[in-house]
A and B are shown apart, each in its own frame.
Chain A
Amino acid sequence: MVSFVVRRIVSAVLVMFSISVMVFLIFFATPGVNPAARIAGRSASPQVLAQVTAEFGLNRPLPIRYGLMMWHLFFKQDLTSYVNIGVKVIPQITGAAPVTLSLVFGAAIIWLVVGVLGGLVAAANRGKWIDPLIMFGGIAAVSIPVFWLGQVVGLLTQTKFHSVFRWLPGSGYVSFTQSPVQWALHLLLPWLTLATLYAGVYARVLRAELVNAMNEDYVRTARAKGLSERRILMRHALRCSLISVVSLFGLDFGSLVGGAALLTEVVFGLPGIGMLTDTSLQNLDLPVIMACVMYGAFFIVVASAVVDVLYAVLDPRVRVVK
C-alpha cells in the first residue's frame, strides 16, 4: 500500500513537471512566433522588448529560460504581469481562489443532491414514465452550452421576469466575510448554472451503474433472501454504484477548483481563477497564464492521485494491476 502511494505521488510530480514544460513550450517555442513580442504586448517599444528579453532570458537556450521562469514563479515569487505592470502574479491567484472555491463548493452540493436523487429515482422506476423523463432531462442538461445557459438565465431573471426576480442582485461577487446573505444571493444563479451540467452527468452515470448492479449475482442473492426491491437498491446496489460517482466527483471537483469553471465565471462576472485565466489569455499576460495553468493542473493531478489511492483502499486488486 505504501509503495503504491509513493509511486502515485512520484508520477503526479512527473506529470506536473511535464505540464509546466508543455505550457512553456506552447508559448515560448511555437515555431514562427516571437515570444518577446507576444509577452510585451502588441505595440511595445524596443526598450520594453529588450527588458522582456533580458528578464525571461529569451536570448539564452530553452532549458535556462524554463528554469528562470520557474525560479521566479515558485521560489522568488516575484513574477510580475506585463499587462498590468507591477502587479505580482501570486497575490492575483490567491485573491481569486476563494471566489472559485465558493462557486464550486455550492454548485457541488446542488449537483450531488440532484444528480444522485435523479439517478436513484430513475433506476428505481425503470419501465415507468418517470425514468425516461429524468433521463431526457439529463440529456438536455449535458447538451446545453454553459455560457449560453448563463446568458439565458441572466436574460430571464434580469429583464423578462424582472418583477418576479427583483430580489436577485446583478452579476458580480460579494465575499462571504462581507455579507453571507449577499454572497449566497450573488452566487445562486452561477451555482444553478454550473450544477445543471454535472447534475445531468451524475444522474446518467449513477442510473447506468445501478442498472448494471441490479443484474449482478449479489443482487440475485439478495432477492433470493427475500429482501424488498427498495432495500436491495438502497443497501446493496447503491453502495457499489456510488464508488464510481465518488471517483468522478473527485476529478470534477479538482478540475473545477483549478479553473475549469471558466465559462460560468466569465458569464456571471465572477473574478475567480477561471476569469483570471481568461483575461490573462486574452491579454497574453504570460506570467499569469503560466501560474494559472500550473494551479489548475495541480488540482487535477492531486484529485486524480487521491481518487486512485481511494480506489486502492476500497479495491485491493488495483494495487497490483495499476
Chain B
Amino acid sequence: MFALGVLLFMVAASLLAPVYAHLVAHVNPFPANVQGTIDLGGKTVSVLQPSSVGFGVTPIGPTWHFSTYFLGADPQGRDVFARLLYGGRISLLISFSAAVICCAIAAILGMAGGYFGGAIDWVVSRIFDIVWAFPVYLLAICLSVILLTSGLNVGFIHIAPGSLLLPILIIASVYVPYVGRPVRGIVLTLREREFIQAAIGSGASDWRILRKEIWPNVAPTVMVFFPMMVAFNMLTESALSFLGVGVQPPNATWGTISNDGLQLLYTRPWVSVAPGICIVLTCAALNVLGDGARDAFDPKAKLRGGA
C-alpha cells in the first residue's frame, strides 16, 4: 500500500508539473535562462553566478524556497525542480508505454509460438534466442545510435528522429524475450491440459481457444511482469539518457536531467542527485508492487538484468 502511495505520488506530482511551473514558480523550465534573476528574500540574485574559481559561471544552488528554484538551477539557468516534475512525465510515460508494448508483443508471440507450434514456434523461439543473446544495453544503444539521428522510415511508417516513440519502441523491443519466454513455456504446458484438448475436440476455433482458454491463464504471469518491466524500462531509459542516446532535448527525463548535472556534480550535486532519488523511489515502489503481484499469483518468474 505504501508502495502504491509512492507511485501515485510520483504520477500525481508529474501530472501537476504545469500547475507548479505556471502558478507557483512562474518559470518556463525549457528555454535557457542565462540572464535570469530571481527575487530571494527581497534581494535580486542572478540565476547564473560568477564561479568561485574565477572563470565560467555556477548556477545557483537549492534555495529551499518552494516558490522559486527549490533545487537550484541547471547549467542553462533552468529551474531544476520544475524540470524534475516535467521530466517525471516523460520518464513515466516512456516506462509505462514501453512496458505495455513489450508485454503485448511478448504475449502475442509467446502465445502464438506455444499454441501453434511447428514453424511459427521455431521462428518465435529463434527471435527470442537472438534478442536474448544480445546484451540488453548494447542492443538498445545500437538501435538508438542509428535511429536517433535519422528517424525510422519503414514503408509507410515515418517516425521523426526526436520523437518519443523511438525510445519507447527500442526499450520495449529489447525486453520482449524476458516476458515472452515464460509465456511460451506456460502455453506449452497448457496445450497438453485436458480443458484445452476438450475445447479443441468440441470444435472451438483457434482464435476462441486463445482468447477464452489460454489468455486467462497467461494474464496473471503478464501482470506479475508488468510492474517489474516498468521499473526495468525506467532504469534502461535513464541509462540510455545518461549515455546521451536516450530522449533528446527539448524533452527532459530524469535520466537527461541527471546527465545535465554531471558537469556540476561537485559544485551543485542536487541537479544530478535529485532525479536519481526519484528513479530509485519509483522503481522500488514498482518492485514492491511486482513482489505483491507475484505473491498473489505465484508463478516462478525470474528476470535477468544488466549493469
* Per-residue contact bits, chain A 249-269, to B (CB 8 Å; 1 contact, 0 not): 001100110111111101000
On chain A, the residues within 8 Å of B134 by CB distance are: 19, 22, 293, 297, 300
Q: Once the chains are docked, how many angstroms separate the CA of A304 from the CA of B287?
A: 26
Contact (Cβ within 8 A) A277 B307:
no
- Could you tell me which residues of chain B, from 274 to 295, have a CB within 8 Å of some CB in chain A? 276, 279-281, 283-284, 286-288, 291
- B13 at interface, CB cutoff 8 A: no
A263 to chain B, nearest CB (A): 6
CB distance from B287 to the nearest CB of A (A): 5
Within 8 A of B (CB), among A225-248: 244, 248
Any chain B CB within 8 A of the CB of A57?
Answer: no
In the complex, A33 has a CB within 8 A of chain B = yes
Alpha-carbon distance A151/B140, docked complex (angstroms): 22
Instruction: Please tell me if B138 contacts chain A, counting CB pairs below 8 Å.
Output: yes
Residue pair B141, A152 in contact (C-beta under 8 Å): no
Given known pairs A148-B276, A293-B138, the reply for A264 and B307 (CB within 8 Å) is: yes
Docked-complex contact B146 and A260, CB < 8 angstroms:
no
Write out, one digit per residue, whether chain A residues 199-215 have a CB within 8 A of any chain B CB (1) or not (0).
00100010000001000
A270–chain B nearest beta-carbon distance, Å = 13
B245 contacts the other chain (CB 8 A): yes
Secondary structure at the A interface, as helix, strand, loop or mixed, is helix
Instruction: Note all chain B residues with C-beta closer than 8 A to A292.
Output: 138
Contact with A145, one of B279, B302, B304 (Cβ below 8 angstroms): B279
B150 touches A33 (CB 8 A): yes
Selected contact of B133 from candidates A151, A278, A297, CB within 8 Å: A297
A152 near B307 with CB under 8 A, answer: no
Cβ contact within 8 Å between A255 and B135? yes
Q: Which residues of A contact B300 (CB under 8 A)?
A: 212
Please state if B269 and A155 are interface contacts (CB–CB under 8 Å): yes
A contact residues vs B (CB 8 Å cutoff): 11, 15-16, 18-19, 22-23, 26-27, 30-33, 38, 139-140, 142-148, 151-152, 154-155, 158-159, 194, 197-198, 201, 205, 212, 244, 248, 251-252, 255-256, 258-264, 266, 277-278, 281-282, 284, 289, 292-293, 296-297, 300-301, 304
The 24 listed contacts between A and B (C-beta, < 8 Å) are A18-B126, A22-B130, A22-B134, A26-B142, A30-B146, A32-B152, A139-B287, A139-B291, A143-B279, A143-B284, A145-B258, A145-B280, A148-B272, A148-B276, A151-B265, A154-B265, A201-B305, A259-B135, A260-B307, A262-B137, A263-B307, A264-B307, A277-B138, A300-B134
Q: A26-B142, A142-B283 are in contact. List 14 more A-B contacts (CB 8 A).
A: A19-B133, A27-B142, A30-B147, A143-B279, A145-B239, A145-B276, A147-B239, A152-B273, A159-B266, A260-B307, A263-B307, A277-B141, A281-B141, A300-B135
Interface residues of chain B, those whose CB is within 8 Å of chain A, are 126, 129-130, 132-138, 141-143, 145-147, 150-154, 231, 235, 238-239, 242-245, 255, 258, 262, 265-266, 269, 272-273, 276, 279-281, 283-284, 286-288, 291, 300, 302-307
